[in-house]
Amino acid sequence: GAVVSQHPSWVICKSGTSVKIECRSLDFQATTMFWYRQFPKQSLMLMATSNEGSKATYEQGVEKDKFLINHASLTLSTLTVTSAHPEDSSFYICSARARGAGELFFGEGSRLTVL
Amino acid sequence: DAKTTQPTSMDCAEGRAANLPCNHSTISGNEYVYWYRQIHSQGPQYIIHGLKNNETNEMASLIITEDRKSSTLILPHATLRDTAVYYCIVRVATAAGNKLTFGGGTRVLVKP
């Protein structure tokens, strides 16, 4: 299947700092990318949908000014957690869909720990 | 997208077939059934999907009932590496959106 890569795999930061997570589709062009968040022992919660070249669509309850999403190219989307706090500590996962394809492919996830 | 209901957890023996049920009684005619699994601390992995007919690939088989209100994912010979949370999702495969909404899934433990 298609490959989606996330970087970094894990990151530890101090409270108040901002963290950027990258999501890349390595062997296909991703017209749409999705960002999920997963807390321990819970299911994945969709945060936002990002289409290349346009603003992201955020799910209800997700602060767009806190979780900045950029999808500037067909192979890269970034999620920036601004002014991170301990409650933002979570497993962040992206997924991507190729043009005209049905299934979504997921990245390996990025574990964020805010101290 | 239609809601799905799966058992919270199940155990199965290594080498035996694992049958994972999923109820989706409110599925509409243009919604597909997708299965993904998530091994601990990894991103979800696509397994299989189908609309009406039964499907099989190198990982699993998907059996969809005639009324499409339920389906079963079959892992023919479970291995210890199949221990994971399995998610059954129904969604419309349209050009716009195409987002996946995850439920609780079934936590499958394959035992030696």
The mean pLDDT of A27-50, rounded to a whole number, is 91
Model pLDDT, residue B99: 72
Scanning A11-70 for CB atoms below 8 A from B yields 32, 34, 36, 43-46, 49
> d(Cα A92, Cα A53) in Å, to the nearest integer?
22
- Rg for chain A, CA atoms, rounded: 13
Residue B2's pLDDT band (boundaries 50, 70, 90)? low
Enumerate residues 6+ apart whose C-beta is below 8 A from A88.
A81, A112, A114
Share of chain B above pLDDT 70, in %: 92
> d(Cα A107, Cα A5) in Å, to the nearest integer?
5
Query: Cβ(A111)–Cβ(A11) under 8 Å?
Result: yes
Model pLDDT, residue B97: 56
Among B1, B102, B106, B107, the strongest candidate for a mutation testing the A interface, having the largest count of A CBs within 10 A, is B102
Residue B29's pLDDT band (boundaries 50, 70, 90)? confident
Query: Which of helix, strand or coil describes residue B82?
Result: helix
> d(Cα B35, Cα B65) in Å, to the nearest integer?
15
Does B40 contact chain A (CB < 8 Å)? no
E runs forming strands in A1-115: 4-7, 10-13, 19-25, 30-38, 45-51, 57-58, 67-73, 76-81, 90-98, 105-106, 110-114
How far CA B38 is from CA of A73, A107, B71, in Å, comes to 28, 11, 19
Residue pairs between chains A and B whose CB atoms are closer than 8 Å: 54
Mean pLDDT, all residues of chain A: 91
Rounded to a whole number of angstroms, the distance from the CA of A106 to the nearest CA of chain B is 6
Rounded to a whole number of angstroms, the distance from the CA of A109 to the nearest CA of chain B is 5
For residue B1, pLDDT over 90 is answered with no
Rounded to a whole number of angstroms, the distance from the CA of A15 to the nearest CA of chain B is 23
For residue A98, pLDDT over 90 is answered with no
> d(Cα A28, Cα A82) in Å, to the nearest integer?
29
Would you call B49 and A105 a contact, using CB atoms and an 8 Å cutoff? no
* Greatest Cα-to-Cα distance within chain A, rounded to the nearest angstrom: 42
> d(Cα A10, Cα A112) in Å, to the nearest integer?
6
Among B5, B40, B41, the strongest candidate for a mutation testing the A interface, having the largest count of A CBs within 10 A, is B41
Among A24, A91, A106, A111, the strongest candidate for a mutation testing the B interface, having the largest count of B CBs within 10 A, is A106
Count of C-beta atoms within a 10 Å radius of residue B110: 20
Share of chain A above pLDDT 70, in %: 97
Chain A residues with CB under 8 Å of B45 CB are 106
Does B107 contact chain A (CB < 8 Å)? no
Model pLDDT, residue B95: 46
Of B5-9, B39-43, B58-62, B98-102, which range is least confident? B98-102
Query: Cβ(B55)–Cβ(B61) under 8 Å?
Result: yes
In DSSP terms, A4 is beta-bridged to A25
What 8-state DSSP symbol labels residue B63? E
Would you call B46 and A6 a contact, using CB atoms and an 8 Å cutoff? no
Model pLDDT, residue B91: 83
